[in-house]
């Protein structure tokens, strides 16, 4: 069952809501912040980077498909995740 926060995040993504309230909500969770950056902004989401940096998977994906370069704020978390080798290959390639 989808909880309230997941429904709210889906609503923001579907409606492409860029209001301050939506941005604040999406910045509170690593998955939501990553998806907002990728699918709504198609660019960096500075307000969400603190949350993204707490999750190795979303830090790696943020570097790979949003930034196209290193994500220093998330490197410590990535290093302790299964995405460490992939991230190192990405960084070496840039």
Query: pLDDT tens digit string along 43-72?
Result: 999 999 999 999 999 999 999 999 999 999
Asked whether the predicted pLDDT for residue 16 surpasses 90, the reply is: yes
**Residues found in the chain:** 94
CB atoms within 10 A of CB 5: 12
**In 1-94, alpha helices (H):** 4-15, 20-26, 30-35, 49-52, 56-61, 75-79, 84-93
Number of domains in the chain: 1
| pLDDT of 93 | 78
Residue 9 is part of which domain span? 4-93
What is the residue-averaged pLDDT of the chain?
Answer: 95
Asked whether the predicted pLDDT for residue 15 surpasses 90, the reply is: yes
Q: Is the pTM of this model over 0.85?
A: yes
Tell me the three state secondary structure of residue 45. coil
């Amino acid at each position: 069952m989808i909880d309230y926060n997941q429904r709210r995040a889906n609503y923001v993504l579907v409606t492409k809501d860029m209001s301050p309230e939506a941005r604040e909500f999406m910045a509170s969770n690593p998955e939501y912040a990553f998806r907002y950056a990728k699918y709504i902004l198609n660019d960096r989401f500075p307000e969400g980077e603190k949350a993204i940096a707490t999750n190795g998977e979303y830090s790696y994906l943020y570097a790979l498909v949003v930034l196209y370069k290193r994500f220093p704020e998330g490197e410590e978390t990535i290093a302790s995740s299964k995405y460490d080798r992939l991230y190192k290959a990405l960084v070496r390639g840039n």
